[in-house]
Structure 1
Amino acid sequence: MSSKNKYLLPFILVTSLFFLWAFLHNINPILIPHLKKACQLNDTQSALIDFAVYMGYFAIALPAGWFMNKYGYKKGIIFGLVLYGAGALLFLPSADTRSYTFFLIALFVIAAGATFLETIANPYITKLGDPATATQRLNFAQSFNGVGAFLAPLIGGKFILTGIEHSPDTLKAMEQSGTLQAYLQEEANAVRMPYLIIGIVVFILVALFLVVKLPEGEEATVDANQKEDKFSFSVLAIPQVRWAVLAQFFYVGAQVGVGSFFIRFSKYTMDLPEIPASQYLSLAMVGFMVGRFTGTFFMKFISPARLLVIYSSICVVLLLLASFVSGPIAVYAVMAVPFFMSIMFPTIFALGIAGLGAASRMASSLLVMAIVGGAFFPVLMGQLSDLTGGNIQISYLIPLICFIVVGIFGYSQSNKNEVVALQSGH
């Protein structure tokens, strides 16, 4: 068997993993309005969906790295898939009981599995073939993040959202007539079949990974003392790392918040029904994909840090429009944001670890953990909305502030020698 054929099937299998965690992150904007309706939640409570997912990432990131180092790539992938599949299947009893707590536990378990997959798949894909083409392989595999981001709202909109949106008066009348609980249970049951299929597909992947021989591709061992010295929180003493972690925390909070309440935002600002709104969101994520490619092209002419400043400034202007202008213009402004935020995660990441050598391992771990910002800022948006009588539009000032922080970081790095931003899975 040639070397190329030897790596082909493992490469296909590992590449499929990139779709899974993208699907998880981008199905949340569908689950938030749906479970808000099915479980009768306010905006703050519905934002706990993001909180459960991103706290899962924060809690599991370091254990996943430890597991990979101790047991290798294959066992780490299999363990991550088992967690992901088990979490998906937990949606069935969650729907049966219509328990929001059970839904959040299920999402945390899925996120734990996705953390394993993301921690392992990014470095592992570079081992599956000629080192000279490692970057091309990683870029190709990461394109499936964009596919997942685009398909998740479409699939969720078609198979989870029912399109039934009763007014508060109608719900009150249904409660008086005794039909409300049956309606709510029917809404909750809408998630059963999609997540059953997801669970089955994931466990099929588990079986394939069990029977397919995967090359470990481990790197040469590093002196234990050196490894311990470099894998230390002391890396935060380096200003670029410290500020990159902060910028990443705010960026991911903005990214998650912009998408998570989009369907609610569209309903509030232009009375757009939930299913068409999910299609608008999917279109916005096409912009995210396109933004990745065009941003990489622009970096041939504009330094990454300066482009970060330009794009974050545009996002601030767009969110000002979104927060204070009503009708389609507000919705279109939010739809444009993903294009401009597409470069931010990988650019912040690259600027944060540039020139660090072995210390980049710990810096990279901290930058991954910084995505916990996605757990907190949507909750703040939900609280602001609830405090203003359900005005979800004004809550988009919170991601606006986040983009200001990102722009300040970009400006602080714009006079340094910079590198082309690494591609990333977010």
Structure 2
Amino acid sequence: MNTPTDKKDARLIGAGMVFPFILVTSLFALWGFANDITNPLVAAFKDVFVINNAQSSWVQMAFYGGYGTMAIPAALFIRKFSYKSGIVLGLILYATGALICVPAASMASFNLFLAALYILTFGLAFLETTANPYVLSMGPEETATRRLNLAQAFNPMGSLTGMTVASIFILSNLQVEDFRTDFAGYHSDQGTQQVETVEYNVLPIFQSTPKERVKDPVMAEYVANNPEKSLDAALADYKDGELETFMGKTHRELQDHDLKIVSTPYMIIGFVVIGVLVVFLVSKLPHTASVGDHREDSSLGEILGRLFKNPLYLGGVVAQTFYVGAQIMCWTFIIQYAQNELGMDKATAQNHNIGAMVVFLSSRFICTFFLKYISPGALLLTLSSAAIGATLGAIYLEGMAGLYSLMAISACMSLMFPTIYGIALEGLGPDAKIASAGLILAIVGGAFMPRLQGGIMDMETFMGVDATRGSFYLPCLCFIVIAAYACLTRLVHARRRAA
């Protein structure tokens, strides 16, 4: 086993691998963008299509379902062909799914949007299953984890871009949001709905400008005649024609406007992906598999047999499942935390979410630097321990201190995914092509764990505290599992050094 000093002296990127490394690293930003521009669609589609929360959650089911469906086939494909072939096919599927959003918008078809996202994540599954082990193979094994961490540092750049596009170009331009604001305003004017105002000390960079009311006369008459109706009921009446127009538009006209707003970024990213595809097609990417290694010709059964005997790999799949669940929970429910605990409006709460992503991105580069001096296992144990402390702060500290503790979790999560990935695939050689599929399958942790946390939030209290804060015991448990895996890593490495 190499010491941290050996790692410091080893080359980070192999000879002749700099351009391929840069090219493959660009993919990390592409799938980060897709992940974080899609998350807000759950809330947007609920109002645009006038459906309930359970129906709108199919956006996430389709998105994560694509990963679960295609991770294993992607691994088998790149094992039979090559890393480059996997990347090319992944980009084709990515672009196809993104561009299908255009006819989905013109047809106002929620199901076609789901199909588009499902196909899009087929491509993401191919890209992640291919790019991660490919980056690991682009240099000395002793710097593999640090090399992957450097590539993964560009993933949150794409995520931050996706979140910003969703906030500025999608959510702020949806006319259904004008409908919500005007409806709530007229209810408040008539005293049928009291809007609670809570003072909170927010840094200016996070404070948003409240959305202005339209004050549509048709809406005013509707609210006056139907003071008992909820927003969801008003949207249903608008869709059914009982509320004939809003801002001079029928429901279908407003829906067409909003779906065009939603589909435009997907159309643009579809063409961007096609451009990246062309670059990959004309570029020569080296074959980095260990030619002549006896494991290259192993059967699938033999590979799986070796993987199931590898404690670092099996533990890595479990740890990755809990990590992805914790990440999605912390980033999904920071808005509810800010709303329920501090009375913030959604826009200001979302700004704190973007701030957490900036913290995440900055921490990735800092932690990647420290990997030159400490082992991946030691870094993972440090980050997971800090995450447990920050999560407990979000649970027990009230006001802005609790919210800032929740944001600080992002700094701790910054390097967990690639570090777990690198440790789990350490020394697997060609087996990594299959092994990586299990780690990509672990992304489904982001599908079911947020549902559990949401169920806890629906309670009044949980484990002696307010339910919103108490729900964060679930991500705290996830970080405990990750800390246990870090301890296992250090134990296994110590035994290897002793041997």
In the superposition, the TM-score normalised over structure 2's length comes to: 0.70
In the alignment, does 2:489 pair up with 1:409?
A: no
In the alignment, does 2:159 pair up with 1:149?
A: yes
Correspondent of 1:217 among 273, 287, 297 = 287
- Would the aligned equivalents of 1:158 and 1:275 in 2 still touch at CA under 8 Å? no
Correspondence for 1:424: none
Q: How far off its partner does 1:159 sit?
A: 0.9
- Would the aligned equivalents of 2:133 and 2:432 in 1 still touch at CA under 8 Å? no
Correspondence for 1:85: 95
Once superposed, what is the RMSD of the aligned Cα atoms?
Answer: 3.8
Find the aligned partners of 1:148 and 1:247 in 2 and give their Cα distance: 24
- Would the aligned equivalents of 2:71 and 2:440 in 1 still touch at CA under 8 Å? yes
Correspondence for 2:268: 197
SS of the equivalent of 1:217 reads coil
**Partner amino acid for 1:89?**
L
In the alignment, does 2:84 pair up with 1:74?
A: yes
Q: How far off its partner does 1:355 sit?
A: 5.2
Deviations 1:66-102 (A, max 9, x none): 2223333333322211111111122223334544433
In the alignment, does 2:316 pair up with 1:244?
A: yes
SS of the equivalent of 1:231 reads helix
In the superposition, the TM-score normalised over structure 1's length comes to: 0.81
Q: Identify if the C-alpha distance between structure 1 residues 295 and 267 changes in structure 2 by more than 3 Å, giving closer, same or farther.
A: same
Q: How far off its partner does 1:148 sit?
A: 0.9
Correspondent of 1:396 among 472, 475, 482 = 472
**Partner amino acid for 1:235?**
L
SS of the equivalent of 1:214 reads coil
Deviations 1:159-203 (A, max 9, x none): 111273544845544635234735555444321211111112222
SS of the equivalent of 2:493 reads coil
SS of the equivalent of 2:154 reads helix
Q: How far off its partner does 1:336 sit?
A: 1.2
Correspondence for 1:261: 333
How many residues align structurally? 414
Find the aligned partners of 2:311 and 2:142 in 1 and give their Cα distance: 32
**Partner amino acid for 1:405?**
V
Find the aligned partners of 1:98 and 1:332 in 2 and give their Cα distance: 40
Instruction: From the CA coordinates, give the structure whose radius of gyration is larger.
Output: 2
**Partner amino acid for 2:486?**
G
Q: How far off its partner does 1:384 sit?
A: 3.8
Correspondence for 2:278: 207
Correspondence for 1:35: 45
In the alignment, does 2:112 pair up with 1:102?
A: yes
Find the aligned partners of 1:28 and 1:156 in 2 and give their Cα distance: 8
Find the aligned partners of 1:233 and 1:131 in 2 and give their Cα distance: 23
Greater displacement, 190-199 / 410-419: 410-419
Find the aligned partners of 2:419 and 2:344 in 1 and give their Cα distance: 34
Deviations 1:359-403 (A, max 9, x none): 5554443223222212221232334445669x7655433222222
Aligned ranges 1:55-74 → 2 under 5 Å: 55-74=65-84
**Partner amino acid for 1:202?**
V
Q: How far off its partner does 1:19 sit?
A: 1.3
Find the aligned partners of 2:414 and 2:132 in 1 and give their Cα distance: 18
- Would the aligned equivalents of 1:43 and 1:383 in 2 still touch at CA under 8 Å? no
Q: Identify if the C-alpha distance between structure 1 residues 93 and 28 changes in structure 2 by more than 3 Å, giving closer, same or farther.
A: same
**Partner amino acid for 2:269?**
I
**Partner amino acid for 1:374?**
G
**Partner amino acid for 2:97?**
G
Unaligned ranges ≥5, structure 1: 420-426
Aligned ranges 1:206-355 → 2 under 5 Å: 206-210=277-281, 212-219=282-289, 220-223=291-294, 227-228=298-299, 230-299=302-371, 304-323=376-395, 327-354=399-426
Find the aligned partners of 1:240 and 1:134 in 2 and give their Cα distance: 15
